[in-house]
Amino acid sequence: SKKKRGVKTIGNGENKTTLKPGQADERSNGDGEPSRKKARSENEDFGEGSKTSIPTSNQQPSKFDDKDSYNANALSKNEGVPISAPQTVPAWHQLLEKSNKLSGIDRQRVKDFFTSQSNPTPGESIYKMKLHEEKIAQPDGSVIKETHYLELDYATMGFKKLRKTKKK
């Protein structure tokens, strides 16, 4: 077959298109090169990239690639230890980190407030407890007592952390 000067044939098989000089390819980005976005979408199913990955020589295959083989209590083949997610500390634990004045009953009340959101005293919608007390020396030589309180609001299920300072 003879090629005409200035005529560009693109595509293959049944999808051949002949372009004349100055005619833009619908798959082109304007400079005659195929658009990467268009080329990507033509090669992918449903417009999404492939979700599977092929492990390279330094990559280990995932233990949970096959949905049927997933078992949360499965034992790891190498360690013989149950597989579990790393334990995270709930955010409300940070409220109690420095507490030195919190009783066991109040500690349980805070836990119940954040986990089950139940009010052990339905008559009271707000409960205030002392969390932490500390004496701090000031640069001028005086001492102040700093007290932190935690206020639980059962009506809105919110809380406030309050701070009071008192000169000694």
Tokens for 16, please give them: 């051949």
Q: Could you tell me the pLDDT band of residue 165, with boundaries at 50, 70 and 90?
A: very high
**Most confident stretch, 52-61, 79-88, 89-98, 122-131:** 122-131
- Distance between CA atoms of residues 26 and 40, nearest Å: 14
Angstrom distance (rounded) from CA 114 to CA 96: 12
> Quick one: tokens of 105?
């009953």
Q: Which residues pair with 165 in a beta bridge?
A: 146
100 vs 68 pLDDT, higher one:
100
The SS3 assignment for 18 reads strand
Q: Each residue of 106-134: pLDDT tens digit?
A: 999 999 998 988 888 888 899 999 999 99
Contacts of 34 (CB under 8 A, 6+ apart): 25, 27, 28
Question: For 129-153, how does the pLDDT look when each residue is reduced to its tens digit (9 = 90+)?
Answer: 999 999 999 999 999 999 999 999 9
**What integer is the mean pLDDT of 145-165?**
93
Instruction: Give the type of residue at 3.
Output: K
